[in-house]
Homo-oligomer: A and B are copies of this chain.
Amino acid sequence: MPRLGGPTPVTLHDVAREAGVSLATASRAINGSDRKVKEEYRSRVLAAAAKLHYKPNRAAQAVARGSTLTVGLLVGDISDPYFSTIAAGVVNGAEQAGLIVTMAATERDTTRELDLVRAMTGQRPKVLIIAGSRFTDDPHREELVAELTDFEATGGRVVMISQAEMPFDTVLLDNRDGARRLAEELVALGYRRFAILTSQPTLLTSRDRLDGFLAGLAAHGLTVAPERIVETEFTRDGGYTAASRLAAEGLDDVELIFAVNDVMAVGALSALRESGLVPGTGIAVAGYDDIPTVRDVTPALSTVHIPLYDVGLRAIELATSPRDSAEPVHSTVQSTVVLRGSTPVRTLAPQPG
């Protein structure tokens, strides 16, 4: 009995020899080439491949074909539910399309992002997906655009997820409009006095949501005092810290705290409770994203639902669809306001004036 699977992997050569056909025929039989192969040879090759446990060497295929079946995915933070849900969509969508996903985390650092893009393009993926908010003050923006343009020029596809701020196809999240609609719905519930937990204004996602929310309020003649707009980290702990501070300073006149994302809102919820307030009763809270967790906090969090998994799917669709226009395509994903226990209907207090 010959020893199978020796120290080096079985090659197509081995399969061809075993089947008694040429390399070329073996290749045609194994991958779905359009060329026809006589059924007898075909099955002989397949049998040999199975017997030897042959596996095509993807790297070699990539070199020979001049292209890979790989998708590069860049996210801010893999363990953040926002990104991990998008990633799940990307990975599953890619698998449907016969693609394999390689993934890296930028830690929301634009220098790292640029480095990672460079590393990823070295893999010559078919597609490069970059998920995560852009920054208004990204010092590497130009280099990044150059890098990605280069990548597209040599046959790659680029898909951004978030803002349409870069000259590439993007899955557009209507952050501004979603936040505006949320604000309007909250006003309709009777809320009039707000505080906002936001992130650095250079973070576009944060800025858009803040602007949209304020616009929604403005449509009803409402404003938020600058000292009620607290800038903090874009994380759970950021929300926690900022809400603690707000509570310590006194929140008596604030009816609702809007955090520009759910993880911040969830942190805020915990902070408020620890400060002796009762979220939902004493003070309302709303977030943005609709990550899975928010159904299970108390009270359940009102938020703006983004179909994050579908966003990942959509990115793959966009990337695998023919590129007919020279202009970047923007595919907008609809978000919907979801009202839950954290923002109960509020007895309408007469408007001052």
A interface residues, Cβ below 8 angstroms from B: 3, 5-9, 53, 55-60, 62-63, 66, 68, 70, 77-79, 81, 84-85, 87-88, 91-92, 95, 100-105, 118-119, 121-124, 150, 153-155, 236, 266-267, 269-270, 273, 292-293, 295-298, 309
Contact = CB atoms under 8 A, between A and B. Distances in A.
A88 to B, nearest CB: 4
Contact of A270 (B153, B273, B296): B296
B55 A122 contact: yes
Q: How many identical subunits does the complex contain?
A: 2
20 contacts: A5-B150, A5-B154, A7-B153, A7-B155, A8-B154, A58-B123, A58-B124, A59-B123, A77-B88, A78-B87, A78-B91, A79-B87, A79-B292, A88-B105, A91-B104, A91-B105, A92-B105, A100-B119, A267-B296, A293-B293
A176 to B, nearest CB: 26
Contact of A8 (B55, B62, B66, B236): B66
A296 B123 CA distance: 40
Nearest to A95: B104
Contacts of A9: 124, 154
A182 B7 CA distance: 46
A74 to B, nearest CB: 11
A155 B7 CA distance: 7
4 nearest A-B residue pairs (beta carbon): A59-B62, A84-B84, A298-B298, A79-B88
